[in-house]
Amino acid sequence: MGVQAITMEAGSRHLSAEELSTRLESVGAERYHHRHPFHLLMHEGHLTRGQLQAWALNRYYYQSRIPIKDAIILSRSEDANFRRAWRKRLADQDGDGGAGGLECWLQLAEATDLERKRVCSCGEVLPGVRYAVDAYLALVERGTLLEAVASSLTEMFAKHLIALRLDALRRHYPWLTNGLGYFEARLSQAPEDARFAFEWVYEHARTREEQELAVRALTRKCELLWAQLDALYFAYVQPGWPPPGAFRPEAS
Amino acid sequence: MGVQAITMEAGSRHLSAEELSTRLESVGAERYHHRHPFHLLMHEGHLTRGQLQAWALNRYYYQSRIPIKDAIILSRSEDANFRRAWRKRLADQDGDGGAGGLECWLQLAEATDLERKRVCSCGEVLPGVRYAVDAYLALVERGTLLEAVASSLTEMFAKHLIALRLDALRRHYPWLTNGLGYFEARLSQAPEDARFAFEWVYEHARTREEQELAVRALTRKCELLWAQLDALYFAYVQPGWPPPGAFRPEAS
């Protein structure tokens, strides 16, 4: 069905930068994980500490794969200008002098009262989270470079969600306040990254078919973010049975 | 035969850091490309400008794959400390504010009187050079991470060769003098990189078998550097017939 939709639209004309941006925005409006019930519960202050622990611990697996994903993308480009720009993402996540995103995420996990070592081991990550994250690596490794870059365009929607989240977390879970450095940094990093990636995608998607591939890659990325929260919701919210070996909050 | 040698030594005891270093040094003494006839001719001042052009143009293909090789290695590590350290290599080659190794190599090629665009296109690279360089990417992609890192240990031998080369190039080819920034930078970068890689290899090659794998990876790397010069020698020195489509110096 997806293929048919792409084929049908492929005969259409090339989209202007503004039209492409609107198309991508509409994917985000419908599919980005800001609409996921787990996030809604989080932002309304309805999650327990144990559920936030499960979120922080599971999402660490996603965070830990981000520099790997970006290094794969780097390894696929023959353009030093592109690689120079993209390298910023590795520095942001792994750190460049100061603490990077990964370290900040560990601080968030510690603020939920989890031990760093337990989180780093990734030993209690839900299989569903792992599959979704690994599908991201497969996408950037096996898709075209255009699809790999386009899959990062969820950054276009991140700033708004993060601003909302920072506010909600500070209000509803004041004990988390010291662990919010990750989101504070992303407030400025995400829009920069999104701008670069959008311009690159617009420049390199020369045909309407390629533009549609970019839209589809963004859709796939939204799906895999969403699927991670599905796994969390199913295991830790309702009905709630984490599989054997997966993280179990002590509080619940 | 290589496999047999490894099997025979595998029963032996684990090497100390000093012993491993000596083993690796002995591989370099025998196999590193400082002994290749093409380099000997270069350092004795016997190459024509056309032959130096062929060298600069062909070796640009190798240079252009180095950041790709390093990004593959980055993508294979789950250790942020390792990735942080290895990222330096990407910055060195692609540039970090100032000109990186790739840009400096283009300046060297320009000093031989080649147009930058012609070099960058890689359109006239010898197939033999291409195969050897691509074998390097295959090695870091398909071997273990230990082998990938160990293959970089040719840096252990680079400083001496580069010092010799800088001296020889300045003396015999004074018209090249403005293009030597690449080697000047490598004089300090190579030993730093080698030190880090050696320590990492020593730490991660826990068994004698793994130490032998590291030695073998270094041997493979020496072979592929050597093979690039074989291709150059055969095409441009003697008897001298570059295949159709490959670079042909105007001077010869």
ipTM of the complex: 0.78
pLDDT at A161: 95
Cα nearest neighbour of B61 on chain A: A78
Q: B71 in contact with A at a CB cutoff of 8 Å?
A: yes
Alpha-carbon span B120 to B116, nearest angstrom: 6
Q: Which residue has the tokens 């023959």?
A: A78
What is the tens place of the pLDDT at every residue in A187-216?
999 999 999 999 999 999 999 999 999 999
Share of residues in chain A with pLDDT > 70 (%): 94
Q: Which of A64, A71, A95 sits opposite B74 (nearest CB)?
A: A71
* A97 in contact with chain B, both atoms CB, cutoff 8 A: no
In A32-126, alpha helices (H): 37-43, 49-75, 80-94, 101-111, 116-121
pLDDT of residue A250: 83
- Is the pLDDT reported for residue A180 higher than 60? yes
- Is the bond preceding B67 in cis, omega lying within 30 degrees of 0? no
Cβ neighbours of B72 in A, within 8 Å:
71, 75
Contact B146, B214 (CB under 8 A): yes
Categorize the per-residue pLDDT at A85 as very low, low, confident or very high, splitting at 50, 70 and 90.
very high
Q: Is A148 on the interface with B (CB under 8 A)?
A: no
Q: Determine what percent of chain A is predicted with pLDDT higher than 90.
A: 85
CA distance to partner chain B, nearest, from residue A68 (Å): 4
Give the pLDDT confidence of A97-128 residue by residue, as tens digits: 899 999 999 999 999 999 999 999 999 999 88
Given this model, what pLDDT does residue A11 score?
60
- Best mutation target, B60, B66, B94, to test chain A (most A CBs within 10 A): B94
pLDDT of A90 reads: 97
Give the residue from A94, A248, A88, A100 showing the smallest Cα distance to A181.
A100
Supply the pLDDT for residue A7.
Answer: 47
Which tens digit of pLDDT belongs to each residue from A24-49?
A: 999 999 999 999 999 999 999 999 99
- Lowest-pLDDT range of A2-6, A171-175, B203-207: A2-6
Confidence of residue A251 (pLDDT cuts 50, 70, 90): low
* Under 8 Å between Cβ of B195 and B201: no
Alpha-carbon gap: A87 to the closest alpha carbon of chain B (Å): 8
> B104 — contact with chain A (CB < 8 Å)?
no
Which of A75, A91, A100 is nearest residue B71 as measured by Cβ atoms? Answer: A75
CATH number for A16-236 (one of 1.20.910.10, 2.60.200.20, 1.20.210.10, 1.10.420.10): it is 1.20.910.10
Domain B15-236 adopts which CATH fold?
Heme Oxygenase; Chain A (1.20.910)
Kindly give the parts of chain B with pLDDT less than 70: 1-11, 239, 251-252
By C-alpha distance, which of A14, A249, A236 is closest to A129?
A236
* Bond prior to A249 in cis (omega within 30° of 0): no
A68 touches chain B (CB under 8 A): yes
pLDDT at residue B246, as a whole number: 87
Decide if B106 touches A, using CB distance below 8 A: no
Report pLDDT for B11.
Answer: 59
